[in-house]
């Protein structure tokens, strides 16, 4: 029968074992109670403590098992006979056949020892020494994170063989002497000295996963990132990229502050694509919490030339925006002040005649007066944009003067109130807006214009709900809105509202222009309805249908907006979700003749092994917004889990009007508990004077076990017929 021993006298020395495994000093743990269980426990006349047979010791979640433990008070030696297993409950285990330790456990020797770190990395050695309570030295060591079957004669997929390995518990680092990297049992790389972080490290200085890449324009090259820990709150990553036609240094700097954080990334290149130019880019962003709930945000985007980002595959942006903004959001108040600078990378755009500098200010406040009920909203806004050009000339013939600058001020006050009449819901709006717009460097519009716009609206809804015995719930809600906006339209150029979208989000708005440089005027009626079906055990769907009827047409709406004329196009939007993982959503605008102005559809299907997605977009031609021909595009993306370890993915974007692919890519990845191998190929079919088609091939190999957990689910191979 097993006997239980609580630590008094010599038995308390067992607690030191747990302090050693957990990296704590003995003095910190000597007062913590431990429990020793064995088939036989005795104290001899010469004060030796001997525990034999199925020995187990427990303390603070740490567990030690052995065949016997003997303590000699005369020599201070602690002898443990195995098989020995010490588990701290946090992922670190020590396995050994025999152990001789000093009485303070700061020094000692273990034979036939194996150290397992973070339940991931295994270090098997002939001999293990404990030195000064901090260092663990392992001799003739094999290191791997691959699952090893005891009866499998084959070596692990990869391993690092070393003459000596030192584990520094304080710095959480592994130091290798005379290290060999072996694939199966074939040496492929020798390093006289090697340092790697142990798996418990979140951030440690050292090399990251390299990537072998082949590009049709840059050639074949290698990216070798090196991570530098500059402290607990900042780091720098330098990535040399050496290929046939380029010498590039990529970098990323991150720092966290008490009240914010920043990140900067970029690259510097000397390549054969533009041999006489230094090329590069710099992107940065940051956010800081200021006093009185204000937040400062900024981002910087700069590039040496228009084609650089595409040549190296960094970003797909064709317009860069750098911004600094201060804002504050409270329950009943919002304040924002921002400055934005734009730079175009498009062939057909000249930065000098684009409104590249934009300054905006916005203040919103709402009140809930008890005297009149409802809600009062007050808004004040200012906007200014400037072009670098000073020419008073319409060079492109599109109505935009090359040097035109605009300054705009708007104020708005609204009173909103809702009430119920039986099953009828009534929402009312009453307000007035004032607009002042000043134009400079444009002789056509002189100094601009100003005006007042009173407005009112009443919205009626009649929601109806039906629920079946099976739990299916259906909701139908017809609605109609009567709206009016007075005043005359301002005699100013259309600078900000050239691209208008009509969707279910602004179906009941009094003005659907994206900016307040212009407003819809006169009487309008918005009518339509929504329907939804919710089945907790089956398919669910929602649908919205609406249309706008006006007293008079709005001249600033182009044909593709669906809002031109006194009768708008029909808006139809909806989505469906099925129990099998299929989801479809879409939106379209069409007239009484079913001529479609815009259409978009997105579908996704997902299950345990397959993820598929695709979308279709179509916009009819509209010369008023520089669209001389229709836009039609189809995109597809998918991933397929071939088995527990292999995953394939593909993406494709096809231009239906041009009749050719725009981009295409495919990849395959193998991942298990000890290695991740990825192969990818991407093709860009871009066609312009600054961007040329290119093909890139990438290969990455990552040895798992030396990096922090990413949250990715990893399948572990098993022993037996299904192994590997």
442: pLDDT confidence band, cut at 50, 70 and 90?
Answer: confident
229 contacts: CB under 8 Å, gap ≥ 6 = 203, 204, 205, 235
Rg (CA), the chain: 35
- Indicate whether 9 belongs to any domain: yes
Q: Please count the residues of the chain.
A: 724
Domain end position, chosen among 197, 219, 252:
197
8: pLDDT confidence band, cut at 50, 70 and 90?
Answer: very low
Q: Is 496 helix (H, G, I), strand (E, B) or coil?
A: coil
| Residue 310 structure tokens | 């595409």
pLDDT at residue 712, as a whole number: 58
Rounded Cα distance, 652 and 597, in Å: 25
pLDDT at residue 566, as a whole number: 94
pLDDT one-digit tens code per residue, 310-342: 889 898 888 999 999 999 999 999 999 999 999
- Say what the pTM is: 0.80
Residue 703 β-bridge partners: 675
- Indicate whether 644 belongs to any domain: yes
Residue, of 85 and 427, whose pLDDT is higher: 427
pLDDT at residue 398, as a whole number: 59
Average pLDDT for residues 671-687, to the nearest whole number? Answer: 86
Cβ–Cβ under 8 Å, residues 633 and 653:
yes
- Indicate whether 718 belongs to any domain: yes
pLDDT at residue 543, as a whole number: 97
| Residue 458 structure tokens | 């009443």
pLDDT one-digit tens code per residue, 706-724: 754 444 566 666 665 443 3
617 contacts: CB under 8 Å, gap ≥ 6 = 599, 600, 631, 632, 633
348 contacts: CB under 8 Å, gap ≥ 6 = none
Domain end position, chosen among 197, 215, 244:
197
Provide the number of structural domains found in the chain.
Answer: 2
- Indicate whether 293 belongs to any domain: no
Domain end position, chosen among 161, 178, 197:
197
Average pLDDT for residues 623-651, to the nearest whole number? Answer: 92
- Indicate whether 384 belongs to any domain: no
CA nearest neighbour of 566 among 554, 557, 553, 548? 553
Rounded Cα distance, 605 and 607, in Å: 7
- Indicate whether 488 belongs to any domain: no
Residue, of 52 and 7, whose pLDDT is higher: 52
pLDDT at residue 300, as a whole number: 97
Q: Is 114 helix (H, G, I), strand (E, B) or coil?
A: strand
Rounded Cα distance, 301 and 356, in Å: 13
Residue, of 46 and 344, whose pLDDT is higher: 344
For 84, the domain range is 3-197
Tally of CB atoms within 10 A around 371: 4
- Indicate whether 430 belongs to any domain: no
- Indicate whether 219 belongs to any domain: no
Cβ–Cβ under 8 Å, residues 628 and 620:
no
């Amino acid at each position: 029968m097993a006997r239980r021993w609580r630590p008094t006298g010599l038995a308390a020395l067992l607690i030191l074992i747990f302090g050693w495994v957990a990296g704590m000093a003995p003095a910190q743990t000597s007062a913590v109670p431990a429990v020793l269980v064995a088939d036989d426990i005795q104290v001899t006349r010469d004060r030796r403590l001997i525990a034999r047979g199925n020995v187990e010791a427990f303390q603070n979640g740490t567990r030690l098992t052995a065949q016997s433990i003997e303590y000699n008070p005369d020599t201070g030696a602690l002898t443990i006979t195995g098989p020995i297993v010490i588990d701290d409950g946090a992922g670190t285990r020590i396995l050994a056949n025999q152990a001789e330790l000093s009485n303070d456990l700061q020094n000692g020797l273990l034979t036939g020892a194996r150290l397992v770190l973070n339940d991931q990395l295994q270090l098997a050695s002939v001999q293990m020494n404990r030195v000064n309570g901090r260092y663990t030295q392992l001799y003739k060591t094999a290191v791997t994170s691959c699952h090893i079957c005891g009866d499998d004669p084959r070596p692990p997929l990869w391993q690092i063989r070393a003459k000596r390995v030192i584990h520094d518990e304080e710095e959480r680092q592994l130091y290798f002497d005379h290290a060999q990297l072996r694939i199966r049992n074939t040496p492929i790389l020798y390093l006289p000295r090697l340092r790697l972080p142990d798996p418990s490290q979140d951030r440690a200085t050292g090399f990251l996963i390299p990537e072998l890449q082949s590009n049709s324009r840059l050639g074949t090259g290698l990216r070798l990132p090196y991570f530098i820990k500059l402290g607990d709150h900042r780091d720098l990553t330098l990535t040399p990229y050496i290929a046939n036609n380029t010498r590039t240094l990529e970098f990323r700097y991150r720092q966290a502050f008490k009240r914010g954080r920043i990140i900067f990334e970029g690259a510097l290149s000397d390549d054969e694509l533009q041999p006489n130019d230094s090329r590069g880019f710099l992107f940065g962003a940051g956010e800081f919490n200021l006093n009185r709930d204000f937040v400062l945000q900024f981002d910087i985007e700069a590039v040496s030339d228009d084609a650089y980002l595409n040549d190296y595959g960094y970003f797909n942006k064709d317009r860069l925006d750098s911004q600094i903004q201060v804002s504050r959001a409270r329950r009943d108040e919002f304040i924002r002040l921002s400055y934005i600078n734009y730079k175009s990378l498009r062939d057909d755009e000249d930065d000098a005649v684009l409104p590249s500098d934009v300054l905006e200010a916005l203040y919103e406040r709402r009140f809930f007066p008890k005297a009149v009920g409802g809600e009062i909203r007050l808004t004040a806004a200012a906007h200014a944009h400037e072009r670098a050009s000073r020419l008073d000339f319409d060079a492109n013939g599109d109505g935009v003067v090359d040097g035109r600058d605009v300054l705009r001020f708007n104020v708005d006050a609204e009173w909103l109130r809702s009430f119920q009449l039986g099953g009828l819901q009534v929402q009312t709006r009453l307000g007035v807006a004032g607009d002042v717009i000043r134009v400079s460097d444009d002789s056509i519009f002189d100094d601009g214009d100003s005006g007042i716009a009173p407005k009112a609206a009443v919205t009626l809804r009649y929601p109806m709900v039906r629920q079946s015995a099976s739990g299916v719930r259906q909701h139908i809600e017809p609605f109609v809105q009567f709206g009016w906006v007075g005043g005359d339209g301002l005699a100013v150029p259309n600078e900000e509202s050239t691209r208008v979208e009509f969707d279910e989000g602004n179906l009941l708005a009094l003005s659907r222009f994206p900016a307040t440089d212009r407003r819809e005027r006169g009487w309008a009626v918005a009518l339509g309805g929504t329907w939804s079906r919710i089945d907790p055990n089956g398919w669910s769907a929602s649908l919205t249908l609406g249309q706008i009827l006006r007293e008079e047409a709005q001249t600033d709406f182009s044909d593709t907006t669906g809002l031109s004329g006194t009768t708008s196009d029909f808006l139809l939007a909806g989505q469906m979700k099925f129990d099998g993982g299929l989801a479809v959503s879409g939106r379209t605008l069409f007239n009484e003749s079913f001529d479609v102005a815009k259409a978009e559809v997105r579908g996704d299907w997902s299950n345990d092994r397959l993820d598929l997605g695709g979308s279709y977009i179509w916009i009819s031609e509209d010369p008023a917004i520089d669209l001389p021909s229709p836009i039609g595009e189809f995109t597809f993306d998918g991933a397929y889990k071939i088995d527990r370890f292999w995953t394939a993915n593909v993406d494709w974007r096809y231009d239906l009007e041009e009749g050719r692919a725009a981009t295409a890519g495919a990849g395959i990845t193998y991942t298990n508990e000890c290695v991740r191998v990825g192969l990818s190929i991407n093709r860009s079919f871009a066609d312009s004077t600054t961007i040329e088609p290119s093909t890139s091939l990438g290969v990455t190999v990552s040895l798992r076990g030396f990096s922090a957990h990413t949250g990715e689910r990893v399948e572990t191979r098993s022993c037996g017929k299904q192994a590997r």
